[in-house]
A and B are shown apart, each in its own frame.
Chain A
Amino acid sequence: MDEGGGENVADDVLVRLCQKGDKNAFEHLVMRYQDKIFSVLYRVVKDRDVVRDLAQDVFINAFKSIQGFQGKSSFYTWLYQIAMHTGFNYLSLARVRTTTVYENGDLEKKLMDTPGGSGNWLEEGYMLHETAQAAVAAIEELPDEYKKVVILKEYEDMSYEEIAEVLNIPIGTVRSRLNRARKELRRNLKPLV
Chain B
Amino acid sequence: MMDCGKMENFIFEFIDQSLGRRDGEMLSVHLRQCRDCQMKMEDLLRFRASIKFHKAMEPSPVADESFTFSVLDRLSKQGAFAPQPAVAGWIEKIHSAFTPYRVRWLAPAFAIMIFLLLPLSLFEKNGSNQGEVRVPSVVNIAKQTNPIPVQPVAVQQKLKKQSELDEYLMFHAQNASQSHIGYPVIYASY
Report A's interface with B, CB cutoff 8 A: 1-3, 20-23, 26-27, 30-31, 34-35, 38-39, 42-43, 48, 51-52, 55-56, 59-60, 63-64, 128-129, 131-136, 153-155, 160, 175, 178-179, 182, 185-186, 189-190, 193
Q: Given A21-B80, A60-B71, do A38 and B47 touch, yes or no (CB 8 Å)?
A: no
Pair A131/B74 contact, Cβ less than 8 Å: no
| B84 to A, closest residue via Cβ | A23
Contact for A20 among B8, B61, B75, B82, CB less than 8 A: B82
Interface string of B145-171 (1 = CB under 8 A from A): 000000000000000000000000000
| Chain B hits for A134, CB < 8 A | 50
Whose C-beta in chain B lies nearest to the C-beta of A64?
B80
CA distance A186 to B53 in the complex (A): 17
Q: Are A30 and B71 in contact (CB under 8 A)?
A: yes
> Which residues of B are in contact with A by a Cβ distance under 8 Å?
8-9, 12, 16, 18, 40, 42-44, 46-48, 50-51, 53-55, 57, 60-64, 67-68, 70-72, 74-76, 80-82, 92, 95, 99-100
Q: How far is the CA of A132 from the CA of B53 in the complex (A)?
A: 7
Question: Bound complex: CA of A133 vs CA of B51, how far in Å?
Answer: 9
A131 near B80 with CB under 8 A, answer no
**Given the interface contacts A21-B82, A64-B80, does A1 sit within 8 Å of B57 by beta carbon?**
no
In the complex, besides A23-B82, A129-B53, A186-B40, 4 extra interface pairs with C-beta distance below 8 angstroms are A23-B75, A30-B72, A35-B62, A56-B70
Minimum CB–CB distance from B55 to chain A (whole Å) comes to 6
A30 surroundings in chain B (CB, below 8 A): 67-68, 71-72
Measured between beta carbons, the chain B residues less than 8 angstroms from A190 are 43
- Bound CA span A175–B16, Å: 10
Q: Are B43 and A193 in contact (CB under 8 A)?
A: yes
Known: A22-B82, A23-B76, A129-B53. A35 touches B63 (CB 8 A): yes
B62–A38 CB distance below 8 A? yes
Q: CB-CB < 8 A to A186: which residues of B?
A: 40, 43-44, 47
Chain B residues lying within 8 Å of A56, measured Cβ to Cβ, are 67, 70-71, 74
Alpha-carbon distance A153/B51, docked complex (angstroms): 11
The interface residues of chain A lying within 8 Å CB-to-CB of B55 are: 155
